[in-house]
Chain A
Amino acid sequence: MTGGSRTLKDAVNEALRHWSSDFETTHYLLGSALGPSPYPDMVRYFQSVIGQEVAEQIEERSLDVEAMIACVGGGSNAIGFFEPFLERSSPRLIGVEAGGRGRQTGEHAARMNGAGELGILQGYKSLFLLDSDGQVQPTHSISAGLDYPGIGPQLAHLGATGRVEFLSASDEQALDALKFFARNEGVLFALESAHAGAAALELAPQLSPDRTLIVNMSGRGEKDLFLTAPAFKGEQWRNFLYQEAQSHE
């Protein structure tokens, strides 16, 4: 991606441009729960396999679930994870947005809890980070998948009704959570999913030990090595890359 702000939003614009000039021979397939109808419904339906499996496992293990937690960029993993539980009143469903460098800095991608405004972009109507004219605001997140100014319309609605609660986690909190789960659980969260992990770490101390939190680890962290390695082990990583480069000369 070389155009615009070089984020997910610009990639979607470019895909839409390509499609609108080649629609006779091209299908537009969208991987997130947003865009024009019926994409949000289709994506929720396909992603709901995650939630169905969770529902089965809750039953099998007779878990007493306090909350289910998922990160929300466009919201595909979250809506699929929540889907079988939307019509129930429990457990709590929690979406975690990218708090970036902190909401007060403006460098984030958290649209719920007051920051987002009603708009129409990329073929759908929902909440977006906009200025007073309706120009789309730049976003920031350490995770590419959450670095997006809009949220899936159904999640925005579920936020308004209160069925889904929204929190945000900063870049730093996501990295801390990633480190915590790698050390203690031996799993490497994608930076996106680590935002959900961060919210779980915040909530867990408030709960009694017999209550359960379910975190959707929607992606694996190997893809983020070039972001996480320099963040955690800057000098060793640089030396390692340098030696690797030399060995290939």
Chain B
Amino acid sequence: MDITALTLSAAAQGIRERAFSISDLVGAYLDAIAEKDGAIHAYLDVFEDAREAALEADKKIAVAHPLDIETLPPLFGMPIAVKDNILVEGKQATAGSKILEHYTASYDATAIRKLKEQGAIVLGKTNMDDSAMGSSTEYSAFGPTKNPHDLTRVPGGSSGGSAAAVAAGMAIASLGSDTGGSIRQPAAFCGVVGMKPTYGAISRHGLIAMASSMDVIGPLAKTITDAEMLFSAIAGPDAFDATASPVKHSMFDKDMKRLRIGIPKEYFGAGLDAEVEKAVRGTIQKAEKAGAQVEEITLPHAHLALPAYYIIVPSEVSANLARLDGQRYGHHAAYADTLYDVYARSRDEGFGIEVKRRIMLGAYALSAGYYDAYYLKAQKVRRLIADDFIKVFERVDIIAGPTTPAPAFPLGSRSNSPLEMYLADIYTVAVNLAGLPALSMPAGTSATGLPIGLQLIAPRHADKKLFDIAKRIESLV
């Protein structure tokens, strides 16, 4: 039996039944990484010390009373991959950027601390677009990740390494971060489940900040149940992040006949690939056949989500990334004579092109004379976009549509065209602007075998309800 084929929940059960050891499991994943990652490049750093952690965990199980084994935390001994913008103490945290190439984390992110408290084992750090800006992982300063389903195509991004690692059987589950689709879009491209929680559901403490009003950590996994296990382990309030909120006890335990699904007409317009439309509509029809009520809804400001996003995010980026100054940590330019030169040269040498583009755009939007026209206007439009969702959720439980307009695109096809790259996130950014929970789940494949993702969007704080509904739909696919 190939134990890397097991889901997280099945592997957790296997360990409790002593069908295999944690060392077997962790070893199988490290072996899979050694065998496959040369071609895929999902990892920036692999933790060989995971074997020792596994041995320690096995010792605990060996001496444990059967009753103690039943009460082990759900993620005990589970090998998890972590995006390289989430801090793991004593390990590198590059955020995919040259500016943090030699940076070592001095503390654990809250999400990591909670994983470790459960006894989960971190397998390594995964590749990503520079500073989490990008939709293909091609902007990584350390080379692109390849899509495991087709090595000539991108895995999506920015959490491309985390998605590819799960898709290729190189991690049982992983953590990513999502500011505009960076968990859901690569999950769709790689054929795995990826969940973006309600803003604040998971502490951002120890997540390298990009756009703080939208950044959120979330799980990528093989199944909805697995993603929920990971979410539940790391969610909740945190003294280190005042925006971190308690998980609300929302749920959907009703008959499928009482499930109301809204289909936004704006997400099925021009630009949507025919195969994606067919697969997504087909999955929704299965839910309808199972009794769900499906109705067309409208999000009138949907077309303004990307424009608002590309003012608000660069503005927050330009402020947030000012802390990378070549002075206290990160890349430091040699041959800089003045303090100004230390700042300006370190930053020019350290940041990748997309990061510089966004810093420039943000600095422009926030500069004297332009603030009202760009930043303030975008924040007002953000309110209109959020209100569109609030209105729709008076009538439906969940919104369903495509995660991306098309399946994974070929490597190199968009990396020189920023606007084309931005369009890969056209259905995902509005959710971040509104702060809602959403997930992408597999909904079939194209004729050439490329995965297609179905996106489900739920009201704020209805993360648990989102998982419940997704599980119902998953069982129909």
Specify whether A and B are partners: no
Instruction: List the interface of chain B (C-beta within 8 A of A).
Output: none
